[in-house]
Each structure stands twice: as structure tokens, then as C-alpha cells.
Amino acid sequence: MRNPIKFIQEVKQEAFKVSWPTGKETIQGALMVFAMAVVMSLFFLLLDQVLKYFLELLLKVSI
């Protein structure tokens, strides 16, 4: 088994090698996720309404 202290030191060294995003990049990414969530929710709302309309037409025809 490896020395836990050595392991923690290696993890710390690797963490310093990570390219962390800037604050601006983080905000841009969050805004893009929010915008895509809004767009997709509007798309699925529209799709749901269209399918509901056709289903109601189908059910009225069969009665």
C-alpha cells in the first residue's frame, strides 16, 4: 500500500496542472446552458401542443 501522505502530495501536484476556467468563461458557460434549457423547453412545449392538437382531432373523428 502506498503512503497516504505521498498520495495527497501527488493529488495536489496534479490539481495544479489542471487548466481551470476563468470567471468569464464560467459565466458564459452557465448562460449558454440556461439559454439552451429555455430553447429546449419552448421547443418541447410547442411539440406537446401540436401533438395534443392532432390527438384531439383524432379522438373527435373516432367518436
| Cα(21)–Cα(27) distance, integer angstroms | 10
Alpha carbon of residue 35 to chain centroid:
10
**46-57 burial, b if ≥16 CB within 10 A, otherwise e?**
eeeeeeeeeeee
Domain limits of the chain?
Answer: 36-63
pTM score of the predicted model: 0.65
pLDDT of 63 > 80? The answer is no
Q: Is the torsion defined by CA of 32, 36, 38, 39 positive or negative?
A: positive
Q: What is the pLDDT of residues 2-52, one digit of tens each?
A: 788 899 999 999 988 989 899 999 999 999 999 999 999 999 999 999 999
